[in-house]
Structure 1
Amino acid sequence: MPAPARNSICSSGVRIDFYWWSCADEDVKSHLDDALAALWRAVDGPNRRWTPWSQSMVRSQFKKRLEKAIRGQLVPVDEIKPLRDGRASLFEIRWTDIGVSEVGTGGELVFRDVHVRLIHTEPDGFGLGVVGLHAHEKAIDPDDPTWTRAEQDAEVDTAERCYFAGVGTNWGLVLRQS
């Protein structure tokens, strides 16, 4: 029998502390900024084309969802979901409607929505704190769900490596007193 789904504190209705795993700064804003930068890197690429407006809109979508997580107001499954069981307790904050423009194979400009994920952990000893570990664009091949699952598993593996690289030292983070 499978274990019951875990609930994230990002949907608990209580304000949480957000940390980014590689941010050494004690300033709350720096952790959020580092996570936003990682999310931006996940969707930006050599074939993507951005206007100042489209860039601002995407960055705003990322920021609003992270701020909602910090307020503990994410909606389970639609906006946050537990990931596979393992030694690290991982969750993903989900975006399914990030609009991008990219150069297609024939040189034409193509508009589409992409899925973006921010994987985080809610480690014991952090109280109401989460540690963001990895951001990525979810690769999807509608004709090959096995390939899609393998790509997702590789991204979760990356997040687990970040987790295990720092869990013993709390990622060098200075925890805030909530």
Structure 2
Amino acid sequence: MRSALDLLTQYAAYHRDRRNIATHFVGVPLIVFAVGTLLARPQFDVAGWPLTPAWVLFALTALWYLSRHWVLGLTTSVAVGVLIGLGHLVAASSTSIWLAAGIGTFVVGWIIQFIGHYYEGRKPAFVDDLIGLLVGPMFVVAEAMFAAGWNREMLARIEQKAGPTVVRDLANARP
């Protein structure tokens, strides 16, 4: 079980360009929302409570986040839970709206991600390690928390290993 520090450091190595990080603040939430929307159907009644595949997946990922770092895991779980809840609101609409919103935001989210990785000059982290799909939301939440002044020590340790954030010079970048 890798710690949040190890996971974020590995993920950060693929995300040092500030424009790439900025695109992740839009793309990752769109993708999480899309997955929550698409998995909000079907709905099962479990002891009087509505249960969907989205909430099952959320519970599993929340446990995973919490097992990595209590504060960051809780904050990430809350953020993901809000997006999943919003996805359920959309899923309560007609089938065409549900599918259009789910598929549309999924595609747009990934397009934004790939634009960011164009600036980065590197492939997305999940290509080398599928756990990167779980780390993405945690990375975005951590970056927001770091920007607010939270856990400067963790940020310093990540930057010590992954390097500082930059704006890569595309005109002189190697292919």
Q: TM-score by structure 1 length?
A: 0.30
Q: Which structure carries more relative contact order (alpha carbon 8 Å, separation 6+)?
A: 2
Q: TM-score by structure 2 length?
A: 0.30
